[in-house]
Structure 1
């Protein structure tokens, strides 16, 4: 039986993501082992905290190389900081290289609104994506972040939200996906997104 591997690199709330995926019928396995990631049908990269710390953990563990190898072979979804790590670089704390699977940079949100951006916001869909099948434009999801993707190729942006500025909410480059928001904390809408991701490689 196939499974979605949830990357354990010491950063992120693995339990809530695991529970949400299992709720929508997706088998999961939490792992930091390359062999388990290689056998998986899909990979989910969670993350909370600062970009440089997380990027360093991926590099030290060698998981960055595994993710780059597997990204062309199966669906990969980054959530919150996990999405940010998909970008070419980040500017949080200091300049730092990301995985380079999505074009652009991670930078502090340029807004007059209070940071961090915490709470429910509506989604707009500038490009179609199977990740949002069955999700209506204007649906609300839950965000917790101060940094966001910028300089992203327009065709790679599949969702935006407004927070005193247009903020990239989700990206896609081939079978690589990223959600700045937390689908596992976003009620029925989030569950539908996770269900869609779980069905991408079936």
Structure 2
């Protein structure tokens, strides 16, 4: 009889603990959104393009990297990003392939920086109805050097910045992020 009472008592305590954990885990979080990337991303309506980081502090002569991202894009097979930058203030150095099409077969990735103050980035692959990319991922990483003390911005130009599906249908980009370059 004592064993049965003891087991019942343990069972009640266990059930109470499980119910309390379940109740607390279902409550809305009330923590502050204080991560440096939270605020700019909350202001973007997907699908979107943005820069990471969105604010860069450098000194004259410093080299820095900025990632060119897509936010919550579905069924994408090709991207053309046209980025405007102040050529008097920034020197474009190099570009690396990002993660969006990293697992795709025969990804084509190239860029052109010959036109004054513009950087064109192209990334696409031969997709079919069952092969495409989705999500929030980087397209590329661009490397720049600060030439002088002028602050500047990186801006995605519309309508030249665009994305397409595997059957070459345009994907409407709803938001365009910017990156601020602060030079000390």
Scaled by the length of structure 2, what TM-score is found? 0.26
Say which structure is richer in helix.
1
TM-score normalised per structure 1: 0.24
Higher strand proportion, which one? 2
Higher relative contact order (CA 8 A, sep 6+): 2
Larger radius of gyration: 2
